[in-house]
Amino acid sequence: MTTRECVANRIVKLCQERNMAINALARSAGIPPSTVKNILNGASKNPGVVTIKMICDGLGISLIDFFDTDEFRELEQEIW
């Protein structure tokens, strides 16, 4: 699994846990819905940390909480 896929999976999981639609997340985060959708569908290959922070703010969690999962701990180094 790539880092991009882990980020997308984490956003989906957190939204499901909160019964929050993607558009509601975007509104809460103060970013366009297309930005979130591009992260989720892979069009955004390298979402910036500021965008992820805004998503975290919309979800009511910290960056540490976002990345503190086994999925992120087990990622292998990615070479482009």
Residue 52 is assigned to a structural domain of this protein: yes
> Does residue 80 belong to any structural domain of this protein?
no
Return the pLDDT at 29.
Answer: 97
Grade residue 68 by pLDDT with cuts at 50, 70 and 90: very high
Expressed as residue numbers, the domain containing 61 is 3-72
Tokens of 18: 């909160």
At residue 77, does pLDDT exceed 90? Answer: no
**Degrees (nearest 5) of the Cα angle 27, 39, 73?**
110
1 has pLDDT over 90: no
CATH number at residue 22: 1.10.260.40
CA distance 27 to 68: 24
User: What are the distances in angstroms from CA 63 to CA 43, 72, 79, 80?
Assistant: 22, 12, 24, 25
pLDDT one-digit tens code per residue, 13-61? 999 999 999 999 999 999 999 999 999 999 998 999 999 999 999 999 9
The residue count of the chain comes to: 80
Q: Per the domain annotation, does 79 fall within a domain?
A: no
pLDDT higher than threshold 90 for residue 76: no
Whether residue 27 lies inside any domain: the answer is yes
State how many domains the chain has: 1
78 is a domain residue? no
Tokens of 4: 């991009």
